[in-house]
Homo-oligomer: A and B are copies of this chain.
Amino acid sequence: MTDQHILSAYDRDLEAIQALVMKMGGLVEAAILDGAQSLETRDVELADKVRQGDKAIDALELRINEEAARTIALRAPVSKDLRTVLTVMKIAGSLERIGDYAKNMAKRTHVLAEMTPINGPDAALRRMAREVQGMLRDVLDAYVRRDAELAEQVRMHDQDVDQMYNALFREFLTFMMEDPRNITACMHLHFIAKNVERMGDLVTNIAEQVIYQVTGEIPDEARPKGDITTSVSKVE
């Protein structure tokens, strides 16, 4: 009877924490989309909204960590249950970092708003950001449903984002070589592209946490790495 009672108290705690994670995930998804849109339309007001919104994301991470610590202290979960609580903290940490990248994207809107627009990369960046937001939506779904297969699909999907990044990297080099006046804008756009690529990596981390939680095993390194800009010696 006592065990039953402890178990369900733990379950209730966990459910409450997971609800916070989903809320945090929703805010981060919105930040990615708004950040990308503010950048494409040079919408400084929307960019400010994203920057302000990041505080709520940070506050949620702090609260999730506190609730998780409280649960560990009160319920003393072991093995799989402990893993579940630790996973929640890891996922919240990844979400917070994705939110930071979205904020950074919004920040650069201000800088880019005063430069000549470079149209091709802008649209490509938005597509990349949409891709990552879709991956995040799916991985949160996988997390709630404890669906390791869906998490694995998200993980494999990350190479598409990496390929989009590689294509953009080449595009930026071309723009800069064609006209030195493009250099400063391209440096900023390149940064944003790399940050979106990193968001994809963080979503992949979350997918791996979900797989670990469901199966008890961390997926091996078999995932194909798509960012080849650190290994190619010449970029045409």
Contact = CB atoms under 8 A, between A and B. Distances in A.
Which of the listed residues A65, A114, A184, A190 has the most CB atoms from chain B within 10 Å of its own CB?
Answer: A184
Contacts of A114: 233-234
A77 B73 contact: yes
A173 interface: yes
Contact of A107 (B73, B111, B218, B231): B231
A177 interface: yes
Interface residues of A, number: 40
A111 B69 contact: no
A1 interface: no
A83 B69 contact: yes
A232 B111 contact: yes
A229 B79 CA distance: 46
A188 B232 CA distance: 12
Nearest to A112: B233
A230 interface: yes
A72 interface: yes
A115 to B, nearest CB: 8
A78 B73 contact: yes
Contacts of A184: 173, 234-235
Which of the listed residues A78, A114, A183, A234 has the most CB atoms from chain B within 10 Å of its own CB?
Answer: A183
B111 A233 contact: yes
Contacts of A110: 230-231, 233
Contact of A190 (B83, B187, B235): B187
Given A72-B82, A73-B82, A78-B73, A230 B183 contact: no
A76 interface: yes
Contacts of A27: none
Interface in A194-236: 194, 218, 229-235
